Homo-oligomer: A and B are copies of this chain.
Amino acid sequence: MSIRIAIVEDGHQIRKNLITRFSFFDDIEVVFDAPNGIECLESLKHIRKEELPDILLMDIEMPGLNGIETTAKVKKDYPGIDIMMQTVFEDRDNLFRSIQAGASGYLLKDDPIEKYVDALRDMKDGGAPVSPAMAQKLLDHMRHQAGEHKSGEEDFDLTSRELDILQCVVDDLTEAQIADQLYISPHTVRTHIKNVYKKLHVHSRASVVRVALTKGLIS
């Protein structure tokens, strides 16, 4: 069963080139092509359901509705259609925005047509083909995030009661409310809070909340 794709790309010549080059592959069928997001959405609207493409090959840089906005709209109305982004620039921000919008593949425009075809086949099989250059950025980003979490994993050695108090402080309860909730005297709450302050090296509720959240001390 062949792979039905549509090409969304503002460069007229590039579009024609892609169509021509895809024509040499029996399992790739170009259902339609569009010069921008608006026309793409129009084409999708006026096509019969069983004729819908499997994959949109989407340019990021387009006048009017750009590739990311178009991706978001398409994914909303046609969640079954996969989006393969293509771009000339290895732009970090666009990469993340595309992923968030729902794209699942990422190619560079100077990739050879065989890479395109391989990627389309992989995508049809449920994979998410990402060009190595883009994957590099993805991994960097994830390593960074993982690192942040890990670096913040200091041990402040709070007792379980102090963690109760901490949670209440983050929930913005007054000392009296905390006392009610934990069935202890407000004086005791005061004492616990003071001890928490000492252990976290802070001097205010605002700082407690910040430390608790950024260091992951509470859920």
Contacts and interface: CB of A to CB of B under 8 A. Distances in A.
Nearest to A209: B209
Contact of A172 (B99, B139, B202): B202
Interface in A88-146: 96, 99-100, 102, 104-105, 119, 122-123, 125-133, 135-136, 138-139, 141-143, 145-146
B131 A127 contact: yes
Copies of this subunit: 2
B139 A104 contact: yes
Contact of A122 (B96, B132, B172): B132
A169 interface: yes
Contacts of A141: 142
A213 B131 CA distance: 34
A126 B142 CA distance: 17
A133 B126 contact: yes
A99 B132 contact: no
Given A99-B146, A142-B96, A207 B172 contact: yes
Interface string A133-161: 10110110111011100100000000000
5 contacts: A100-B146, A102-B143, A128-B135, A141-B142, A207-B209
Given A104-B136, A129-B135, A206-B208, 16 more contacts: A100-B150, A105-B132, A119-B132, A127-B135, A128-B135, A128-B136, A128-B139, A145-B145, A170-B210, A172-B203, A172-B204, A172-B206, A206-B206, A209-B210, A209-B213, A213-B214
Closest 5 CB pairs of A and B: A127-B132, A122-B132, A128-B136, A128-B135, A205-B206
